[in-house]
Amino acid sequence: STALITIFIFTGCKNGHENHEATSDSYYTCPMHPSVVSSTPGACPVCNMSLIKVEKKENLHAGQQGNFITIDKRQQELAGIKTDTVKPRNIASTSSIIGTVTIDEDQVKTISSRVKGRIDKLFIKTTGVYLKNRSPLYSIYSEQIQADGKEYLSLLQKSKTVSTTTKLTNELVSAAKNKLFLWGLTEKQISEIETSGKTSPLITFYSPESGYVTEVNITEGMYVDEGSSLIKITSLNQVWVEAQLYSNEISGIAESKIFQIFSESNPEEVYKGILVYSNPIVEEGKRIHLLKIRVNNSGGKLIPGTLVSVIPEKSIANVLAVPKSAVLLEKMKTVWVLAHDNTFEQRMVETGAENKFWIEITSGLKLGDIVVAEGAYLISSEFILKSGAGQRHDH
């Protein structure tokens, strides 16, 4: 199990042409039964497997009671050892609750049809697509737009041919152009009509802003009326987090106004949220408190549907902490600390508050210490094997 994995990782990458005689820095052992130790090659008396050679490489430092082990870079990579730094992190004194990221309804933009007509081409057919500002949405066949375009061109042509342009003529041209703006045509599209001297019943409409498509209510070939809801686009620069509290969770949470939000995909990043809605409801006979928290999401990393941890800000303290995976919960709480180069030291620690990701260190480590965050149990297994080898008797 762990012993076998440890021996394979920390010895498997050795040179295959090494001496078959053990030295003071090596011994032979069984991969399946590490209690079997020998100074010479042979077979395990328990399972008859060939013994393998293991380098002790203890590199113990005087006065440190042998709590050191050296592991080269190659072995660290094979073992998947990763480190993290002891530094202040926000940890709450109360338990977190689970929330779900949802769309902020105030950020939803409904795109309606300006004119009556037939959808000729639909550029966006599925939800979840991110659109940049001015992205094409759909083309519509509208005889109304074509007729008004022809009227504008006619008035424009008359204003250029008469010797004296009257105020009334200018007003009629301006009104005709403004009507095209009201139908949703852009300045560029109107300029193209002026330049070409032609109008088309097919007009393409564009997204008025950037955002994610959350609703598509049309298909190609569909006839729509003026004012019909066609597409909905939502900005994720601001989102809601919805959470439910049962009666045993309400104390100290429901009355909070400011919350901190943590995403499991990126626990280092903290989002601040403000309570915008709180309402007790009854669901299946149980009294539930529904919270809606508005969160600034300018980076767009919080995606609707994502589960997050929600913690009242007033219960959070900034304390020295390490990843929970760094602390080994055996007889005593210990961590492996990078002492220098590739040498690690085992230290006892005392811990305090913790959450899903981090655990407070109250004693044993200082700010800036580098600890093993992943692979600590493998290092401990290797350390126990090497430390115990010198105390065992040959078989």
Residues 6 or more apart in contact with residue 126 via CB below 8 angstroms: 213, 216
Q: What is the pLDDT of residue 6?
A: 53
Q: Provide mean pLDDT across the span 78-96.
A: 83
Q: Is residue 323 part of a domain?
A: no
CA 281, CA 269: separation in Å to the nearest integer?
32
Q: Are residues 189 and 265 in the same domain?
A: no
Q: What is the pLDDT of residue 190?
A: 92
Q: What is the pLDDT of residue 36?
A: 67
Q: Are residues 176 and 203 in the same domain?
A: yes
Q: Is residue 79 part of a domain?
A: no
Domain boundary (298, 313, 328) is at: 313
How many domains does one find in the chain?
2
pLDDT band of 321, cuts 50, 70, 90: very high
pLDDT tens-digit map of 151-197: 999 988 888 776 666 777 888 989 999 999 989 899 999 999 999 99
Q: Provide mean pLDDT across the span 134-140.
A: 95
Q: Are residues 210 and 260 in the same domain?
A: no
Q: Are residues 216 and 119 in the same domain?
A: yes
Query: In this predicted structure, which of 49-53, 72-76, 132-136, 391-395 has the lowest mean pLDDT?
Result: 391-395
Residue 212's domain spans which residues? Answer: 110-231
Q: Is residue 197 part of a domain?
A: yes
Which CATH number does the domain housing residue 241 bear?
2.40.30.170
Q: Is residue 390 part of a domain?
A: no
Q: Are residues 212 and 244 in the same domain?
A: no
Q: Are residues 148 and 184 in the same domain?
A: yes
pLDDT band of 330, cuts 50, 70, 90: confident
Residues 6 or more apart in contact with residue 195 via CB below 8 angstroms: none
pLDDT at 18 over 50: no
Q: Is residue 303 part of a domain?
A: yes
Of 221 and 57, the structure prediction assigns the larger pLDDT to 221
Q: Are residues 223 and 298 in the same domain?
A: no
pLDDT band of 388, cuts 50, 70, 90: low
pTM across the whole model: 0.54
Which CATH number does the domain housing residue 181 bear?
2.40.50.100
Tokens of residue 155, six digits: 């008035």
Domain boundary (176, 204, 231) is at: 231
Q: Are residues 271 and 246 in the same domain?
A: yes
Q: What is the pLDDT of residue 94?
A: 63
Domain boundary (313, 341, 373) is at: 313
pLDDT tens-digit map of 25-81: 677 766 555 556 778 888 888 778 787 776 654 433 333 335 888 888 888 888 889
Q: Provide mean pLDDT across the span 215-222.
A: 96
Q: What is the mean pLDDT of the chain?
A: 82
Q: What is the pLDDT of residue 268?
A: 75
DSSP string, 141-187: E-HHHHHHHHHHHHHHHHHHHSSS--HHHHHHHHHHHHHHHHTT--H
pLDDT at 24 over 50: yes
Q: Are residues 218 and 253 in the same domain?
A: no
Q: What is the pLDDT of residue 222?
A: 96
Tokens of residue 30, six digits: 């069984």
Q: What is the pLDDT of residue 170?
A: 83
Q: Are residues 276 and 227 in the same domain?
A: no
Q: Is residue 261 part of a domain?
A: yes
pLDDT at 364 over 80: yes
**Under a CB-based contact definition with an 8 Å cutoff, are residues 256 and 314 in contact?**
yes
pLDDT at 314 over 50: yes
pLDDT at 202 over 70: yes
Q: Are residues 141 and 225 in the same domain?
A: yes
Give exposure, 279-307, as e/b (b: 16+ Cβ within 10 Å): eeeeeeeeebbebbbbbebeeeebebebe
Q: What is the pLDDT of residue 267?
A: 74
Q: Is residue 26 part of a domain?
A: no
pLDDT tens-digit map of 228-259: 999 999 999 999 999 987 766 665 565 678 88
Q: Are residues 242 and 309 in the same domain?
A: yes
Q: What is the pLDDT of residue 65?
A: 39
Q: What is the pLDDT of residue 12?
A: 53
Q: What is the pLDDT of residue 221?
A: 96
DSSP-derived letter for residue 43 is B
Q: Provide mean pLDDT across the span 335-361.
A: 88
Q: Is residue 322 part of a domain?
A: no
